[in-house]
Amino acid sequence: TLQRIVSTLANKNDEIHNFIDMLNHTINNVQVNSSNAISELDEEFEGLYSILGEMKGSMANTIQQEEARKIQALQDQLSQCSNALESSEELLELAAQSLDIKDPVEFLK
């Protein structure tokens, strides 16, 4: 009976050693897989950051071009308004001078 118990214990010890080896192997696999997953994740995010950087540059360039176009259009309008105002002031001055003319013949000139 004792021999059977010792034999059973020896078999269980072997099973436990095998199970420990399997657990250690599984732990190593989990560590390797996790490390690989993190490396792949890093590569993926680096690619995304690169794409986002390019998109940001493109969008910023589009905004700057639109800003320049709008500012130019507004400056053109400002120039036209200034010219119109100057012409209007000259016309007002001429009209004011015309009002001061008392002689009808000179007024027609």
Q: Over pLDDT 70: what percentage of the chain?
A: 99
DSSP structure class, residue 39: H
Is residue 108 in some structural domain?
Answer: no
Q: How many separate domains does the chain show?
A: 1
Is residue 89 in some structural domain?
Answer: no
Is residue 99 in some structural domain?
Answer: no
Structural domain of 49: 1-81
Is residue 32 in some structural domain?
Answer: yes
Is residue 97 in some structural domain?
Answer: no
Return the minimum-mean-pLDDT range out of 42-46, 65-69, 73-77, 98-102.
Answer: 98-102
Res. 107: pLDDT tops 90: no
Is residue 94 in some structural domain?
Answer: no
Is residue 22 in some structural domain?
Answer: yes
d(CA 38, CA 25) in angstroms, rounded, equals: 20
Do residues 77 and 86 lie in contact, with contact meaning Cβ atoms separated by under 8 Å? no
User: What is this structure's pTM?
Assistant: 0.58
Would you state the pLDDT for residue 100?
84
Closest CA to 95 of 82, 107, 80: 107
